[in-house]
A and B are shown apart, each in its own frame.
Chain A
Amino acid sequence: MKIFRWKAVIPLALFALVVVLGWTLYVDRLIRLGVETGGTAAVGARVDLRSARLRLFHGDLVLRALAVTNPGQPMKNLFEADQIVLDLNVRALLEKKAVADTVAVRGLRFGTDRKTSGALPARSKSEGAVTHRGVEDWAKALPLPSLDFQGLGKGLEAIRAVSPESLRTLAQARAVAASADSVKAALERKIAQADPRPVIDSAQALVNRLQGTEARRLGLAGARDAATAVRSILNAVRGARDRVTALKAEVTKSVDSVRSGIAALDRARAEDYAYARRLVKVPSLDPKDISAALVGRAALQRLVPGLFLLQSAKQRIPPGLMPQRSSGPKRTRMAGTTFHFPKARHYPSLLVEFAEGSFALAGRTTMAGDYLARLTSLTTEPAVWGRPLTFLAQRTGAVVGPTGIRVGGALDHTGAIPHDSIKADLDGVGLAGCDLGAAAARVDLGTGVMRLGLVRTGDEVNGSWMIRTDSAGWTRLRDTAAVGDSNAIGSRAWLDALVWRAVSSLRQVEVSAAISGRLASPHFDVSSNIGTAVAGALRQAVAAEVSRVEAQVRAKVDSLVGQQVSAARAKLASLDTGPLKSLTDEQSQLDAVQARLEQRLRGLTPGIPGLRP
């Protein structure tokens, strides 16, 4: 029987022809869909591409009319490009890797309007959308001080609302007292079991019996018997002493744990003061807290795009050369997991070695002018490529105003710990205005300076953002013209009027924000001359009232928790004077009796052959 069916060569050739034909007809469409789907997943908003054309023999890929939606503003594009030509590495394509040696971008425009919204469905599960939501949720959840003085007007009435059960000190004091009780009961039981009194009494009796007895008068046999008796009781004393020492260490440890609980009561009380102060709505008059309350949320929002970029980079560009895993392709069958096995000095799965584009922003705005954008070493596996991603966009010529616009950064994921940085310096640009969250006013910042710097190393982030302008303009958001000093102190209208009086004459405005620490629980600081001005005005108006209410708040908290805290302290004192003191006394007695026994033993054995001391 023949193994090969040679007449099947024709159907096979036809089959191959169909495959090649299918490839030719559909590859461009598949690439377009791939760019749109992958881009949408990465950005978290729609990415549109009019056409893609792969020319394998030329080794290039031409993308036309690429539009990437701004995830924060779905009716705007982050950027649009008329044409992108990628010079592809064909050998890398054979390894299923997309490597572009150079990329040329033509017709690049930023912030263009979209005809249709590029937002994804409300709860899209694309990785980019999830990341963007995560960063926004994180920014919203970051606690900032509030500016609410309504407690001043209500005085004692509001203070009465402080419930004892909501105070941490009370719960903590009860827990400490209960812990002290259980520790005391357990220790007393153990001390009773290890009672050294019988041993001490026996030892005392023996010492008394041998008092004044000389070895020579006892004779050799008598001296030996006496020495044996002393050694035996001495061993019992040493054993009892060891038990008491071990028990004392245990008691000290238990008492220390209760003591640390007592120390925590002071911290809990400080938190309760702050809680009660918030409850009666008496915020801090510190300019930093007031700045955070007024412009903190707006400042945080300015950091969100940079943090989103760093977070996306962390997820999409894993550091090191460890095998990576991703979900398999979507299909009717189970998707499974796809493993990636990067290898140093080979092509990474995706690489754009060098991309450059120049573009111009038309018009006569402060942003209009000629720009240059450059990107190097964009890859999904930087450890394989061995070089960090760098990007830079800067203005090379301005239509009006200064030319100082420069945004750049580096994402270094070549090592085990990623190190990313973004820096933006914008001089003489139009600054977006912001509402003062806690007061009915809006500031339009006109033109000015903006600086942004973000550095992330591993999970640690350090960032700063600053704006400065000399041409701020103020708008009142609520009509509070009729209200004046006659408003009740602490009321919303009173606060709006006070803030307005403090800030409406400010032409020079500076806001700076700094973020540091682990991203999960960062330290966030805001300072601004707006906060300083408002804090000054508030101090003049309400400093005495705030001090009085604060004193009342502290007194109220003290009255609610004082009894329990005293009880807890008394329990600790009873531990110090009870089990611990009794063990210390017993240890001293054992030491004393042991010393006397050893002295007696030395008195019985000197110079007598056959008797060891």
Chain B
Amino acid sequence: MLFLKLLQQLVKALNSEGTPGQVAAGIALGAVFGLTPLMNLHNLVLFGCALILNVSMAGVFLGWTIFIPIGFALDPLFDAVGSALLGAPSLQGIWTTLYNVPVVPFTNFNNTVVLGSVVCWVVAFLPLFFLARWGVARYRATLLERLRKTRIFQAVTASGWYTTYRSLSRLLP
């Protein structure tokens, strides 16, 4: 099921009318929803950002889908990173201040997995963006034309859901 969803998102994102930069920004932004535990305030804010910023929504969903299993697999790493940061004596002042500031505690930053995953996502954001932009550009320059000629691609693009997707994507390119 996840594989089919991934394939669907992949086709949508790579063949959208967004620029490689928009798709890559969408993937890098969407990665946060897969990497970090979903039900947290920072994800609500970032989802709002994804809607309002001119990034590819298909890219956001693709990034989200790709990084769900990666997030699960890397949880022990996130836990270790979060533990190291929250337990660091030099950072106690910052954490204590943030813990007692309105609204901030709703981000659950004081949970090791949440903090570790967010920090890892922030660190990976730019490398992820540049890698995705290069990958999308390479794909469009080399594979896209050949794929367009295949029967599967033509069948997919001619299907009802693809027409619906195109109509909606005009609202949210």
Measuring CB to CB, which residues of chain A are less than 8 angstroms from any residue of chain B? 1-5, 7-9, 11-12, 15-16, 19, 91, 94-97, 323, 328-329, 331, 333-343, 346-347
Is there a chain A Cβ closer than 8 Å to B125's Cβ?
no
Q: How far in angstroms is the closest Cβ of chain A from B102?
A: 4
17 contacts between A and B (CB under 8 A): A5-B51, A9-B52, A12-B48, A15-B47, A96-B106, A323-B95, A328-B112, A334-B75, A334-B113, A336-B78, A336-B111, A336-B113, A336-B116, A339-B87, A339-B112, A342-B96, A347-B100
* Residues A334 and B48 in contact, CB atoms below 8 Å apart: no
**Chain A residues, Cβ within 8 Å of B112:** 328, 336-339
Q: How far in angstroms is the closest Cβ of chain B from A347?
A: 8
Contacts A5-B53, A338-B110 hold; do A333 and B99 have CB atoms under 8 A apart?
Answer: no
Q: How far in angstroms is the closest Cβ of chain B from A91?
A: 7
**Chain B residues, Cβ within 8 Å of A343:** 96-97, 99-100
The answer, among B54, B99, B106, for a CB contact under 8 Å with A5, is: B54
* Residues A333 and B53 in contact, CB atoms below 8 Å apart: no
Measuring CB to CB, which residues of chain B are less than 8 angstroms from any residue of chain A? 19, 22, 37, 39, 44, 47-48, 51-54, 71-72, 75-76, 78-79, 82-83, 86-87, 92, 95-103, 105-106, 108, 110-114, 116, 171-173
**Chain B residues, Cβ within 8 Å of A333:** 37, 71-72, 75, 113
A331 to B113, CA, bound (A): 11
What does DSSP make chain A's interface, helix, strand, loop or mixed?
loop
A336 to B83, CA, bound (A): 9
**Chain A residues, Cβ within 8 Å of B87:** 339
* Residues A1 and B19 in contact, CB atoms below 8 Å apart: yes
Contacts A1-B19, A341-B100 hold; do A336 and B82 have CB atoms under 8 A apart?
Answer: yes
A374 to B29, CA, bound (A): 52
Contacts A1-B19, A2-B54, A328-B112 hold; do A340 and B48 have CB atoms under 8 A apart?
Answer: no
A179 to B133, CA, bound (A): 78
* Residues B92 and A323 in contact, CB atoms below 8 Å apart: yes
* Residues A8 and B102 in contact, CB atoms below 8 Å apart: no
The answer, among B95, B97, B113, B172, for a CB contact under 8 Å with A328, is: B113
The 3 closest A-B pairs by CB, nearest first: A336-B113, A334-B75, A96-B105
A335 to B100, CA, bound (A): 22
**Chain B residues, Cβ within 8 Å of A336:** 75, 78-79, 82, 111-114, 116
A329 to B37, CA, bound (A): 11
* Residues A334 and B76 in contact, CB atoms below 8 Å apart: yes
The answer, among A15, A19, A95, A334, for a CB contact under 8 Å with B105, is: A95
A603 to B53, CA, bound (A): 109
* Residues A341 and B37 in contact, CB atoms below 8 Å apart: no
* Residues B111 and A337 in contact, CB atoms below 8 Å apart: yes
A4 to B72, CA, bound (A): 32
| Most chain B CB atoms below 10 A, which of A1, A333, A336 | A336
Contacts A96-B105, A341-B95 hold; do A5 and B79 have CB atoms under 8 A apart?
Answer: no
**Chain B residues, Cβ within 8 Å of A97:** 105
Q: How far in angstroms is the closest Cβ of chain B from A268?
A: 48
**Chain A residues, Cβ within 8 Å of B79:** 334, 336-337
A328 to B109, CA, bound (A): 11
**Chain B residues, Cβ within 8 Å of A96:** 105-106
* Residues B96 and A91 in contact, CB atoms below 8 Å apart: no
**Chain A residues, Cβ within 8 Å of B102:** 91, 94-95
A351 to B83, CA, bound (A): 27
**Chain B residues, Cβ within 8 Å of A91:** 102
Nearest residue (CB) in B for A94 is: B102
**Chain B residues, Cβ within 8 Å of A1:** 19, 22, 54
Q: How far in angstroms is the closest Cβ of chain A from B51?
A: 4
**Chain B residues, Cβ within 8 Å of A2:** 54
Q: How far in angstroms is the closest Cβ of chain B from A455?
A: 33
* Residues B100 and A95 in contact, CB atoms below 8 Å apart: yes
**Chain A residues, Cβ within 8 Å of B96:** 323, 341-343
**Chain A residues, Cβ within 8 Å of B171:** 7, 11
The answer, among A5, A95, A329, A334, for a CB contact under 8 Å with B52, is: A5
A95 to B92, CA, bound (A): 18
* Residues A4 and B53 in contact, CB atoms below 8 Å apart: yes
A329 to B83, CA, bound (A): 15
Nearest residue (CB) in B for A96 is: B105
Q: How far in angstroms is the closest Cβ of chain A from B109?
A: 9
| Most chain A CB atoms below 10 A, which of B39, B79, B99, B105 | B99
Q: How far in angstroms is the closest Cβ of chain A from B90?
A: 13
Q: How far in angstroms is the closest Cβ of chain A from B57?
A: 9
Q: A3-B53, A338-B112, A339-B112 are in contact. List 14 more A-B contacts (CB 8 A).
A: A1-B19, A2-B54, A7-B172, A11-B171, A94-B103, A331-B39, A334-B78, A336-B75, A336-B111, A336-B116, A338-B110, A341-B95, A342-B99, A343-B97
